[in-house]
Amino acid sequence: MLNWANRFNICCFLDSHQYHSSHSSHDCLVAAGCRHSLMADAGNALNRLNCFYASAGDWIFGHLGYDLKNEIESLQSSHPDGVQFPDLFFFVPEVIVRLEGHTVSIGAEDGAARQVFRDIIGTPDVPPAFRDPVAIRQRFSRQEYVAVVEQLKRHILKGDCYEINLCQEFFAEDATIHPLALYRSLSAASPNPFAAYYRLNDKYLLCLSPERYLKKEGRHILSQPIKGTLRRQAGDPDGSSLQQNGKERAENIMVVDLVRNDLSKICEKGSVQVDELCGIYAFPQVFQMISTVSGELRDGVTPTDAIRATFPMGSMTGAPKNRVMELIERYELRKRGLFSGSVGYFSPSGDFDLNVVIRSVLYNASSRYLSFHTGSAITFASDPEAEYEECLLKAEAIRKALA
């Protein structure tokens, strides 16, 4: 399915890697080809998305970039962006393929579903070859990153904020890769439940995300923020030391409070609740601490109203959200672009499911610029050296694949 979808200049391949939970949406969902599309930068992008979705009356797939914050919170961004995804892009696909267990469902125009199935089955499963190894550089040295963390701790001491997500860019210029080969390598090494292979002409997102941003089913809406990371090791087979780590729990609870506040703007009074607090989940390289917050939407709330109330997600900003986004702009050296944004879909019924774009490679094939970010949550209790090491841990799988 993935090899077939990559024939199209625009495609979105969403893979749960068979992580099943009570909130799972699909095993695998593919949108290929483009009948209609919307591309917009921050300014009036969400209003345009609302109109586009209403007029389409169909499935739409695409992304929300981090700098939509400028529209939502009246902020600004002046840093360079090497990959240059637009702030927002959604498209009505020519073909949708859904895989659930042993059942494949295909939606295509003009009764072409059977031909699509034959084309998929007939696509050779030959992994494309890698090109040369990619030499990765970092925007921050260890000393620079530690110094910025110390600066942020002073902001926390002054009361400017109480948690901030600081990210750094790893990058390569003149990088020649085969995006599909790299995605397959990353998927084999680090399968995650909100993975995405997303192509927009010459721009690629190779995403192995463990985190859901926002899901709506009927009037029910939920978010599952992640805060708390621990390398998997033999001495701690179930991640119990992460569960007992007071700093990591405090980070998670801070973000849960932020998400509760965001959802209360759009949900029925008294309906917002914490379904799970600080659950420990195992992934190939790490344990993650994940909470689930949900509520019942008020009448008249549109999907874009829900995005406006909750984006960017608190796990990628910190709190209070507006002030920490100003500090992120001040101390980070590059635009996040699609990193810290979201990829997913809206269904014809008004439901949607959107991930958090982390553990991801961004690549512009025309400029041959490759980028990925990692970050950590900074609180007053943070050890700057440990925060730097957490960034390296999160980057480890990608660096190995590129080497």
DSSP-based three-state secondary structure for 391? helix
Confidence (pLDDT) at 72 = 97
Cβ proximity of 403 and 133 under 8 Å: yes
Cα four-point dihedral sign 271, 274, 276, 281: positive
Catalytic residue among 203, 227, 321, 335: 227
- pTM for this structure? 0.96
Q: Token pair for residue 289?
A: 């601490």
Integer Cα distance of 119 and 115 in angstroms? 6
Quick: pLDDT tens for 136-146. 999 999 999 99
CATH for 2-402 is 3.60.120.10
Cβ proximity of 358 and 340 under 8 Å: yes
293 forms bridges with which residues in the sheet? 223, 274
Annotated catalytic residue 227: yes
Confidence (pLDDT) at 132 = 80
Quick: pLDDT tens for 151-190. 999 999 999 999 999 999 999 999 999 999 999 999 999 9
Catalytic residue among 71, 211, 329, 387: 211
Q: Domain limits of the chain? A: 2-402
User: Based on the number of CB atoms within 10 Å of its own CB, is 118 exposed (0-12), middle (13-18) or buried (19 or more)?
Assistant: exposed
Integer Cα distance of 370 and 403 in angstroms? 13
Quick: pLDDT tens for 294-344. 999 999 999 999 999 999 999 999 999 999 999 999 999 999 999 999 999
Integer Cα distance of 399 and 371 in angstroms? 11
Instruction: Give the number of C-alpha atoms closer than 13 A to the C-alpha of residue 218, restricted to the C-beta side.
Output: 4
Confidence (pLDDT) at 340 = 97
Quick: pLDDT tens for 1-28. 999 999 999 999 999 999 888 888 889 9
Cβ proximity of 263 and 310 under 8 Å: yes
Annotated catalytic residue 211: yes
User: Based on the number of CB atoms within 10 Å of its own CB, is 268 exposed (0-12), middle (13-18) or buried (19 or more)?
Assistant: middle
Confidence (pLDDT) at 128 = 67
Integer Cα distance of 35 and 108 in angstroms? 11
